Structure 1
Amino acid sequence: MNDRAGETVLRLSGIEKGYNRGKPNEVKVLRGCDLTVARGEVVALVAPSGAGKSTLLHIAGLLDTPDAGTVEIAGEALQDKSDRRRTLVRRAEVGFVYQFHHLLPEFSALENIMVPQLANGVARGAAEARARELLDSVGVGARADHRPAAMSGGEQQRVAFCRAMANGPKLLLADEPTGNLDPETSDRVFSALMQLVQETGLSALIATHNLELAARMDRRVRMNGGLLTAG
């Protein structure tokens, strides 16, 4: 764990979320989840399919709002802030990685990593330099000019990691980031992700079914019955 781990980057307190509220078919997904992630800490979120881990990640990343509870990123409570403020914080402080890479097919690997930087006001030259640095750091610098369709699944996902890291976020949220890969490729890609996280000192909350990968993280939490428990 990073030696600056006393700083809390993500704090979720009493998070509740349901769907079809007030109706006979109401589904209560989250029933009061509490979680803190410290600076430099990598936390595994282990849960069966349908347990609500994606919902929790979307709330943590300000893509959805809870029915109750508070969401703090870097000490700022954001659950009731304006859409504009939430968007600004999400763009600057949060990086997302999904099971499928979601790269823009018409752009090269380099351009895919430049896009979020340009949207954040970074100059083109600086954005390109940052993109090349990230690609080199995960071993796919030689693929910078290739479009996603010309890359392997493992290469695509490493580019997706770089894109998530492009704006220097404090928090990385990943939803089954190696779920579509074979075991050998999954191991290589996860190692590249961990290297990126450790080199930058950011925090990460990573949802995975893979208990071997979860064991390589600093701490594990389990979701069951809409609640989080240690380990």
Structure 2
Amino acid sequence: MSDLTLELSGIAKAYNKGRENEVTVLRQIDLHVEPGEIVALVAPSGAGKSTLLHIAGLLDAPDSGSVKIAGQTVTGLSDRKRTAIRREDVGFVYQFHHLLPEFTALENIVLPQLANGVSATAAQERAKDLLTRVGVSHRADHRPAALSGGEQQRVAFCRALANSPRLLLADEPTGNLDPATSDQVFAALMELVRDTGLSAVIATHNLELAARMDRQLRLEDGTLVSL
């Protein structure tokens, strides 16, 4: 069994297939991510980075090619099995935090753990620990509307890591923040990822942020090239 966290092989994806306005988004993408490796995915809007991340995270299916997570081929599995793998092994962070507005910061991190069978006591301890790591433990009892944009995104990071996934996929995680806050929040994310030792693929427009990661790839015309 491979010890790679993520293996994408020959991934292709097109929309409006068979029509005159067919758009090919991804062409024979190969991407291998080592355990503990943080990979930057640099691409302009509309280049297909969200599609690539959705395929890697089992939210979308490729037209061709295979996806492996922790050595297990996940393309072709049932929806139930893919959902289980996504819940246990993959964490997502988006440009917008998507926190549940009626729940506190702590509860937003507890809920995915409860859905994964973790006890309420253990889930709360895990949530408190994660909030402490990103410096917002003092905001644990606040709902998202009472948090700043940077605080909301830090809580979103904690939620993504609540179930101790092997892989983190982040789509422009600081793209909705001002430059100063973006830098602080990104530093918190990098520290959290490094401390937990998981692998990550982080899409960003920001070349300075990309340079802080282990490897930088650019998505151009549906293919990946190294920077």
TM-score normalised by L of structure 2? 0.99
- Within the candidate set 15, 33, 44, 2:40 is matched to 44
Task: State the AA in 2 paired with 1:227.
Answer: T
SS of the residue corresponding to residue 196 of structure 1 reads: helix
Q: Report the CA distance between 1:24 and its aligned residue.
A: 1.2
1:62-114: CA deviations, max 9, x gaps? Answer: 00000000000000011111111100000000000000000000000000000
SS of the residue corresponding to residue 8 of structure 1 reads: coil
Q: Which residue of 1 aligns with 2:14?
A: 18
Q: Which residue of 2 aligns with 1:62?
A: 58
Q: Which residue of 1 aligns with 2:124?
A: 128
Q: Report the CA distance between 1:7 and its aligned residue.
A: 3.2
Counterpart CA distance in 1 for 2:36 and 2:150 is 25
Counterpart CA distance in 1 for 2:27 and 2:6 is 19
Report the count of equivalent residues: 226
Uncovered stretches (5+) of structure 1, i.e. residues with no partner: 1-5
Q: Which residue of 1 aligns with 2:196?
A: 200
Uncovered stretches (5+) of structure 2, i.e. residues with no partner: none
- Within the candidate set 114, 117, 137, 2:110 is matched to 114
SS of the residue corresponding to residue 46 of structure 2 reads: coil
* Percent identity (aligned): 71
Q: Which residue of 1 aligns with 2:166?
A: 170
Counterpart CA distance in 2 for 1:44 and 1:147 is 31
- Within the candidate set 199, 214, 220, 2:210 is matched to 214
Counterpart CA distance in 2 for 1:154 and 1:177 is 10
Q: Which residue of 2 aligns with 1:156?
A: 152
Q: CA RMSD in A?
A: 0.8
Q: Report the CA distance between 1:121 and its aligned residue.
A: 0.6
- Within the candidate set 172, 177, 183, 1:181 is matched to 177
Q: Which moved more, 1:140-149 or 1:18-27?
A: 18-27
Task: State the AA in 1 paired with 2:47.
Answer: A
Counterpart CA distance in 1 for 2:213 and 2:27 is 25
Counterpart CA distance in 2 for 1:190 and 1:211 is 13
1:146-169: CA deviations, max 9, x gaps? Answer: 000000000000000000000000
- Within the candidate set 135, 141, 154, 2:137 is matched to 141
Q: Report the CA distance between 1:43 and its aligned residue.
A: 0.2
1:142-200: CA deviations, max 9, x gaps? Answer: 00000000000000000000000000000000000000111110011001001111101
Task: State the AA in 1 paired with 2:195.
Answer: E
Counterpart CA distance in 1 for 2:217 and 2:158 is 26
Q: Which residue of 2 aligns with 1:72?
A: 68
Q: Does the 8 Å CA contact 2:93/2:156 hold for their aligned counterparts?
A: yes
